[in-house]
Structure 1
Amino acid sequence: MDVVLGDIGDYSRMTSSGLGRLEPLQISASKSKGVFHDFNLDAALERKPDIVLLDQLAHVNAEGCRHKRRYQDVEELLRAGIHVYTTLDIQEIESLTDIITSITEISVDERIPDNVFERADQIELVDADLDKVVERFQKGRMHPDELMQGERDFSSLYVLEKLKPLREIALKITARQLRRIALLINEETKKEDKYYQDHILVCLSSAPSNQKVIRTAARMAEVFHSQFTALYVEAPERESKGTRDNEHLKKMQLRENLKLAEQLGAQIATVYGEDIPVQIAEYVKMSGVTKLVLGRSPDRKRGVHKSSLIDKLIPLVPHMETYIIPYIGTEGVKSTGLPIKPPAFSFRDSIKSLLVLLFCTLIGVWFQHLGFREANIITVYLLGVLLNATITKGRLYSALLSILSVIVFNYFFTEPYYSLKTYDSGYLITFVVMLAASILTSTLTMRVREQARIAAQKAYRTEILLETSRKLQQAGNAAAIIEETARQLVKLLGRTVIFYPVDLNKLSEPIVFPGGEESKDRALYTGDNEKAVANWVFTNNKRAGATTDTFFGAECLYHAVRGGEGVLAVSAIAMDEGDPLDSFEQSLVIAMLGECALALEKEQLNEQQKEISMQIRQEQLRANLLRSISHDLRTPLTSILGNAGILLSNSKVLDEEQRTGLYADIYDDSIWLINLVENLLSISRIDNGTMKLNLQAELVDDVITEAMRHVTRNSQKHEIQTDLEDELLMAKMDSRLVVQVLINLVDNAIKYTQDGSIIRISAKRSGEWILVEVSDDGPGIPDADKERLFEMFYTGNNSSADGRRGLGLGLALCQSIIQAHGGTIGVRDHEPRGSVFYFTLYAEEVDIHE
């Protein structure tokens, strides 16, 4: 058994007994504080041992490694069919981080998602007597790796009061994992648990405390074996609070929270709305949520008139099981400036606001001149504030215009005029009401406009998704499907998109679809490093690249276009042209790539169906050919064999006339076989596309004369006539093939008409065509047979005079030859009796000066 050792120091005390050959495998990575080692994943995959011993599953890899985390290395080893034995501390399980930290008062950054731990086939708990552990620590006998993590002091950890709860948690988590393994083995028990399933919903936010809420909800989902959903409500108000640096930190924290929820197995859902509690309540009612998990924000400042989100939400879902997760920490997003984000100044909006104020003042002066009351003038200013909120961006200009409107109204339209004083005490109430009404109307207008913007954005994205589905259905081939998908992604994201099609089970050259202004060289997105990432995604069928933990230094984010039987293509989205994709954009991208995968699979199925249909047709053709040859070749061969035997055994008995008759029969049967083989070869060459036409201007008279020299010997029993409109008729043709057409048509007329019948070959000019006809006065052809007469292997109910049935190849060959010349061929009745076969060829002019 071949065993690879991951970290030398961690396994220096291990024995190789029972494990076979142990060999170290490591790679050095330089760091500012020295040199230490990381696991060489590529070397392990190349060697492909039976078992890899790899310490510290939650370890963070050094820069330059393929993956950020060691557990991702382990996942790739498992996909390659390599068994892995590794180690893990209890505090390194993501969902237990908050609980362990509250006990130990020590936070760790190296953690793994719960689903990685849950996929383990076997778990062994390394348990020890707690008193001996404390004694070893007090005597300084602990291994340095067990103590030193940075410069932290672990003396407060090695006490029984903290070790006992840690041991209990380890026992519980081990028992839970063992129960999970048992459920996977016992399929009946697993099915019984699915009769009723809870649905747990956790609400996402940009607060660091939200991570504790997510972990708690994940543990609940695991205990109850329930569906787990993480909901994020995108509200316009969130985009206007805080400084620019603070907003960036919040967006980064929100992405971390979303990523954590995905790692813990949550399905991400995003809704839009102004009233967050109402949006959550509506989602709860529509999605069948049974348990709601909420967190209490640590920096919420309660006022007399303020109520928290929890206070607003609980009355909206009174029958819902709601769990409130408290947070006592002081960690949060630090403010880097004023509590409210300073609005950006806009010279254009300032001019607009001043013009609105001037316009309202002029109308007020006019109303005052007409003798209108002050209430009418106040209405004009309210209308101006409403109009200004519509044509400007941000609430600053509407608020300033509201205050300026009160000042201007007081200055121009209240006594004493042109002064900020007032004689009437009632005007003070008027000013307050006017200011409040102005601010309220501007706020409502801004809110409606923001909601309209969000609705338009959602409608636009939904329209792109629907348009993608429609265009993919209309795409004609795989290249068109990939092109339409890429252009829709560019339209949605405004970024450069690269597609790697799959051909012959490997990636083809990338196709770049630039988004917006192409500021960077395309080679940056299609270099060797980027192609290596695309090949890894194709091989492993997983996402990688920028904003992920695998190949995180890449320029693009790579997705596998997954089909039912593997990866159909690899898409890449340039991530250096803007912020990372938000959750809604990521969901749309996955949905569009899913539509692309379905369309590509459908195209593959259509191609396979065409191949199957072609094979079926070929099998039918082969069966018909074999069936016809087995019958039709036997008769002439038997006749030739019999006649030859008679001549060999009775040559002296037979007189000259009898021998001549036998020779003639042998000759006729041989000619019939030669024509049959010639027709078969000609049809096979035409169907395979190997026959090349040698088109030249030929005299129709010469071609007919050449054909008459090769017709069957039985032509002497019929009267064959030639009727040409002009002896100099010329047509553009391959004379060798057209001669074969005339021979087949005349031979058919001889074979299926009575002795002494008249067969006429005629040719005449008809516009730009030469019309050639072969008519007879035989019994004719039934109407039911005329439609199928030119099909291969169709012989109808006719039999030749000598009792042979043809293979039905002659007329099919004639049709193929004439169509290759660009002409038409057909059959009609001949008056008063018989049939007429006709075909057309392109006419050529005769140059009389040559």
Structure 2
Amino acid sequence: MAPHRTGAAVLLEQTPGNTAEKKRGKLKIFFGYAEGVGKTSAMLYAALEEQKEGVDVVAGYIETHHRPETAALADDLEQLPSLELPSKTAAIREFDLDLAIRRRPDLILLDELAHHNASGCRHKKRYQDVEELLRSGINVYTTINVQHIESLHDVVSAITGNSVTERIPDSVFDSADQIELVDIPPDDLIERLSKGKLYPGEQGEMAAGSSIFVKTKLIALREIALRYTADQLNRIAQRYSERANKNTYNTADHILVCLSSAASSKKVIRTAARMAEAFRGSFTALYVETPKTKDLTPKSKAELRENLRLAEQLGAQLATVYGEDVSGQIAEYAKSSRVTKIVIGRSQSSKKRWLTKTSLVEKLTALAPNIDIHIIPDTQPAPYNRFPAYVKPRLSLADTLKTIGILTVCTLIGLWFQFLGFREANIITVYILGVLLNAMVTSGRLYSAITSILSVLVFNFFFTKPYFSLEAHDSGYPVTFLVMLLASIISSTLTMRIKEQARQSAQKAYRTEVLLETSRKLQQAEGAPAIVNETAIQMVKLLDRTVIFYPVEQDNLAEPLIFPKVESAVNLRAYTGVNEWAVADWVYKNNKRAGATTDTFSAASCLYHAVRGGDTVFAVAAIVMDQEEPLEIFEKSLMIAMLGECALALEKELLNERQKEISLQIQQEQLRANLLRGISHDLRTPLTSISGNAGILMGNSMVLSEEQKTGLYTDIYDDSMWLINLVENLLSITRIDNGSLNLDFQAELLEEVIAEALMHVNRNSVEHTIQTMLEDELLMAKMDSRLIVQVLINLVDNAIKYTQAGSKIIVSARREQQRVRVEISDNGPGISEEAKSKLFDMFYTADNQRGDSRRGLGLGLSLCKSIVHAHGGTIEVKNNVPQGTVFSFTLQAEEVNVHE
């Protein structure tokens, strides 16, 4: 048998594209109040009806419980082969998620939604398989009983006396598009059980003897299922109504549940979730971290993580605050967050203590009198430990030496005070001061307690009569010793408490500073790579763990960027292998977290989070968790906030890029519109003239005189040359704007370039006086001669067209340090100041009347500007004194090689 591929690498070739872009599938749940009501059969009947309508239906996993009728219905459907996982005893058969996604039917059937998958599957829970199928666009039919709903677990357990471990979050049930209640009377269900139709042989006898199949209990379960189904149907109807009206439900109710590491907190969380659902309010789970949190046992920490995960599954927003006064922190958070109801648990104490302090509920009532407080009692009594669990003291040589040194110094000072004749009260003060100093410089409460006791013993040994013994003859000494001991213990305790609070405050300030610094740096970062780099650096600083980022480029994950923690000695490439890459790719395509400490790909070495904005994933962040403790609550919250800031920055960067593209498209569209508008208007006159003159020549060639023919030929030629120059300007501008124009720079004589240009100017140049004036016949400049010739032609033609006949046009050139300035001046009517600022803009034409009455497109001067700028020069226009206009541009000067 081929080995089973448990690695995540198979997903690289199996997952079809980004599922976030696909249409989400529909979920229909067949809901029952107990085993045997007929959920699977009802699901199969519905699937067969869909198959008759032409729907592609596949049975992914069906549990027949050896019932012939159910097996017969399943045989009429295509069965998806099960996934066989190796085991010590026999192979385990599970639903093959990857095969289902490759098969991609229209509808797939999955029995037992709350099922726990075996080790080796991608997800720990079957409902997670269903969610991935829905994201892939596959419709799903599934089944579940009322006892598998998370928020109803405590209620159902109290009725049946049994606690089921396979449960689903309420959010999964609430997200269903259809709920079908499969219902039969309890009497009929009991009769089916007695006839052996539910379970065969001994299994049926065991079920009949269980405490579940009792009529009163079945009636209660049926009532819960009916009520829950009705509530869910109302929610579905309301959801569709809100979508149709495009209106979201708004409410002022805010439910706050207080968390702890106790196992009984789960009941409190479920109750609060039901309240939030009933009141249609927001739901927050708050945990108050105290100095004792760090001393929690591994079991208590695991229980706390489970409670947090349960609250998150039930839709709660997690929040964490620091402080020693738990009730004060809860009340302060509730007031600032506008909480309307607080849900808190209370255990039944097994013994009444002699000294009882004010309970948490009483303190909350006093601190937040305007907030409703709901107390959820726990029927299980809280264990009362007469002797607390033994914690091994943490000893160190440095703290031991500090303690001995402080006691020695205090004793020496006491002996000096005794020599000076000071009273014993002054010496006691010295020892109390030593206890305070010891609490400040040592870690843990052990050394403070030892110092308090030793201070009393040393004081008795050195400073009470009889000296150098532990006896005390004075009857008042025992009271002195007791007061001294109590003062030392109290002062050391207060000092340790202040020290711990200072440590927590510093830690919280540091983390808050990191978050604020992240926000500031992300605002200053330019470009997606800089944003990712700054976020990763800040995450390493916050978590003190290696961070890996997978940026998204062209709808795929790019090469990972590794940001190791300080002095990291691990092999970083071990966390970017094929399997780890596949998990990151799955997170990108499914927009869900996965990896270590989650229920998806839990064997991975990293915890993967999608850096997302809505349904768009910009990157995938991986935090190396191999051989590391799970993230603390506050660290996790800050990390998620940091990734949210990163997503906002990346989304803003993407929007800016799109805005630039849109602006460029708008400019191009405006250019195209102006060009088409100009061409459609300005080409009509020369084309009409050419076609009209050609028609006259063709129809009246025998009538026309030679002089008339010559005039018509001349007009056709002039119009054709105008069109040729126009097209040449258009092509040149296009090449320059696209960057496809290759410049061939050579040292050229200005005299030759100007002469070449004047040979191709407008034919009407004979009506004007054109002169060339060069300060040096060997004046040279670095240029692409064919383009500069075009510049000169355009400028001279411009002067010819916008000046009166007989005007004087001068083309001159002179040396100005390392530049050569070329000027084209005329004595025409000149240009207004307003027109000068727009003269070199594309499609701008001045109001001057042209000699040929033909309005240009306004491309010539714009082309001249582009060509001169491509040569690294400048072009400008100014008034000619006393009358006219001067156009000038500069080029880089070149020296004449006298050796040639």
Is TM > 0.5 for Structure 1 vs Structure 2? Answer: yes
How far is 1:690 from its partner?
0.2
Identify the match of residue 384 of structure 1 among 429, 434, 456: 434
CA contact (8 A) 2:268 2:343 kept: yes
Amino acid at match of 1:218: A
Summarize the Cα distance change of 1:273–1:145 in structure 2 as closer, same or farther, 3 Å threshold. farther
Note the C-alpha offset of 1:782.
1.0
Inter-partner Cα distance in structure 2 for 1:200 and 1:623: 59
Task: Tell me the distance in 1 between the aligned counterparts of 2:280 and 2:302.
Answer: 31
Counterpart mapping for 1:368-767 below 5 A: 368-576=418-626, 578-767=628-817
User: Which AA in structure 2 matches 1:80?
Assistant: S
User: C-alpha separation between the residues in 1 aligned to 2:444 and 2:612?
Assistant: 44
Please say if residues 273 and 279 of structure 1, whose CA atoms lie closer than 8 Å, have aligned partners that are also in contact: yes
CA–CA distance in 1 between the matches of 2:193 and 2:889?
106
Match of 2:210 in 1: 157
Instruction: Write the distance in 2 (CA, Å) between the matches of 1:672 and 1:485.
Output: 60
Q: Which amino acid letter does the alignment assign opposite residue 398 of structure 2?
A: R
Give yes or no for contact 1:118–1:177 (8 Å, CA) kept in 2: no
Secondary structure in 1 aligned to 2:343? strand
Matched, 1:112 2:199: no
- Partner of 1:232: helix, strand, or coil? strand
Which amino acid letter does the alignment assign opposite residue 632 of structure 2? D
Q: 1:40 maps to which residue?
A: 96
Do residues 816 (structure 1) and 866 (structure 2) align?
yes
Change (3 A) 1:724 1:354: farther
Q: 834, 838, 854: which one pairs with 1:784?
A: 834
Q: In the aligned structure 2, how far is the partner of 1:434 from the partner of 1:511? A: 61
State how far apart, in whole Å, the 2-side matches of 1:449 and 1:442 are: 10
Aligned to 1:91: 147
The alpha-carbon distance between structure 1 residues 488 and 145, as it changes in their structure 2 partners (threshold 3 A), is farther
Runs of 5+ consecutive residues of structure 1 not aligned to the other structure: 242-246
Q: Distance in 2 between matches of 1:301 and 1:786?
A: 97
Q: CA deviation at 1:738?
A: 1.1
- Residue 234 (structure 1) aligned with residue 284 (structure 2): no
In structure 2, the CA distance between the partners of 1:43 and 1:370, relative to structure 1 (3 Å rule), is same
2: distance between equivalents of 1:333 and 1:574? 40
More contact order relative to length (CA 8 Å, sep ≥ 6):
2
Return the offset for 1:613: 1.6
- 1:13 alignment partner, SS class: helix
Q: Does 1:797 align with 2:847?
A: yes
Q: Tell whether the 8 Å contact from 1:495 to 1:577 is kept in structure 2 after alignment.
A: no
Residue 381 of structure 1 aligns with an amino acid whose one-letter code is: Y
The answer (yes or no) to whether the contact 1:292–1:320 under 8 Å persists in 2 is yes
Count of residues paired in the alignment = 839
Residue type of the alignment partner of 2:57: V
Q: Distance in 2 between matches of 1:577 and 1:133?
A: 52
The alpha-carbon deviation at position 26 of structure 1 amounts to: 1.3
Greater Cα shift, 519-528 or 8-17: 8-17
Question: Does the CA-based 8 Å contact 1:100-1:166 persist in structure 2?
Answer: no
Question: Which residue number in structure 2 is paired with residue 28 of structure 1?
Answer: 84
Shift of residue 319, structure 1, vs aligned partner: 5.7
TM-superposed CA distance for 1:314, in Å, is: 4.2
Matched, 1:133 2:167: no
1:272-302 alpha-carbon deviations (Å, 9 max, x no partner):
1101122223233333434333323468875
Distance 2:370 2:767 in 1: 104
Q: Distance in 1 between matches of 2:769 and 2:249?
A: 89
Verify the 8 A CA contact 1:512 1:522 in the aligned structure 2: yes
SS of the equivalent of 1:580 reads coil
Q: Residue 378 of structure 2 aligns to a residue in which SS? A: coil
User: Quick check: 1:124 aligned with 2:181?
Assistant: yes
Higher mean C-alpha deviation, range 84-93 or range 273-282:
84-93
Between stretches 425-434 and 743-752, larger displacement belongs to: 425-434
92-101 or 124-133: which moved more? 124-133
Question: Structure 1 pair 223/654, CA: closer, same or farther in 2 (3 Å)?
Answer: closer
Contact 1:209–1:332 (Cα < 8 Å) also in 2: no
SS at match of 2:91: strand
Cα drift, residue 692 of structure 1: 1.1
Aligned residue for 1:176?
228
SS at match of 2:742: coil
The answer as to whether partners of 2:802 and 2:848 remain within 8 angstroms in 1 is yes
* Cα shift at 1:140: 7.2
Question: Measured at CA, do residues 416 and 165 of structure 1 come closer, stay the same or move farther in structure 2, by a change above 3 Å?
Answer: same
Alignment partners' CA distance in 2, 1:439 and 1:189: 66
Q: Decide whether aligned partners of structure 1 residues 195 and 57 sit closer, same or farther in structure 2, where only a CA change above 3 A counts.
A: closer
Q: Which runs of 5+ in 2 are unaligned?
A: 1-50
Q: How far is the alpha carbon of 1:809 from its aligned partner?
A: 0.9
Per-residue deviation, residues 58-83 of structure 1 (Å, max 9, x unmatched): 22111111111112222223333434
**TM-aligned CA deviation for residue 130 of structure 1:** 4.6
Instruction: Spell out, residue by residue over 1:218-274, the C-alpha distance to the aligned partner (whole angstroms, 9 max, x if none).
Output: 334344444332221100123236xxxxx1111111001111122222222211110
Shift of residue 564 of structure 1? 3.5
Q: Which residue of 2 aligns with 1:831?
A: 881
Q: Is the 8 A contact 2:611 2:618 kept in 1?
A: yes
**Contact 1:94 1:111 survives alignment (8 Å):** yes
Taking only aligned residues, the RMSD between alpha carbons, in angstroms, comes to: 3.2
| CA shift in 2, pair 1:842/1:289, >3 Å | same
What secondary structure sits across from 2:179 in the alignment?
A: coil
> Structure 2 length normalisation: TM-score?
0.86
Shift of 1:38: 0.7
Partner of 2:219: 167
Q: What letter matches 2:216 in structure 1?
A: K
**What SS does the corresponding residue of 2:462 show, helix, strand or coil?**
helix
* Structure-2 residue corresponding to 1:202: 257
Q: Report if aligned partners of 2:161, 2:211 keep a CA contact under 8 Å in 1.
A: no
Rounded Cα–Cα distance in structure 1 between residues aligned with 2:615 and 2:423:
79
- How far is 1:312 from its partner? 4.3
Q: CA deviation at 1:486?
A: 2.2
Instruction: Check the 8 A contact 2:613/2:648 in 1, yes or no.
Output: yes
Give me the whole-angstrom Cα distance separating, in 1, the residues matched to 2:202 and 2:142: 16
Closer, same or farther: CA 744–338 of 1 in aligned 2, 3 Å:
same
Shift of residue 419 of structure 1? 3.5
Separation (CA, whole Å) in 1 of partners of 2:641 and 2:68:
49
1:640: how far off? Answer: 2.8
Structure 1, 692-701 or 414-423: larger mean CA deviation: 414-423
Seen in structure 2, the aligned counterparts of structure 1 residues 42 and 163 have a Cα distance that, compared at 3 Å, is farther
Q: Deviations over 1:455-510 (max 9, x none)?
A: 22222222222222222222222232222222222222122222233333333333
For residues 671 and 757 of structure 1, the distance between their equivalents in structure 2, rounded to whole angstroms, comes to 22
Moved more, 510-519 or 622-631: 510-519
Contact 1:25 1:44 in 2 (8 A): no
Match of 1:806 among 838, 843, 856: 856
**Matches of 1:845 and 1:193, distance apart in 2:** 77
Counterpart Cα distance in 2 of 1:408 and 1:697: 102
Match of 2:58 in 1: 4
Pairwise CA distance, 1:9: 4.4
- The DSSP-based 3-state class of the residue aligned with 1:123 is strand
Shift of residue 713, structure 1, vs aligned partner: 2.3
Q: Cα 1:332–1:300, aligned 2, differ >3 Å: closer, same or farther?
A: closer
Distance (whole Å) between structure 1 residues aligned to residue 695 and residue 422 of structure 2? 132
Distance in 2, Cα, partners of 1:153 & 1:326: 33
Cα separation, 2, equivalents of 1:778 and 1:268: 80
Q: Distance in 2 between matches of 1:195 and 1:705?
A: 81
Identity rate, percent: 59
CA gap of 1:662–1:266, structure 2 versus 1, over 3 A, is closer
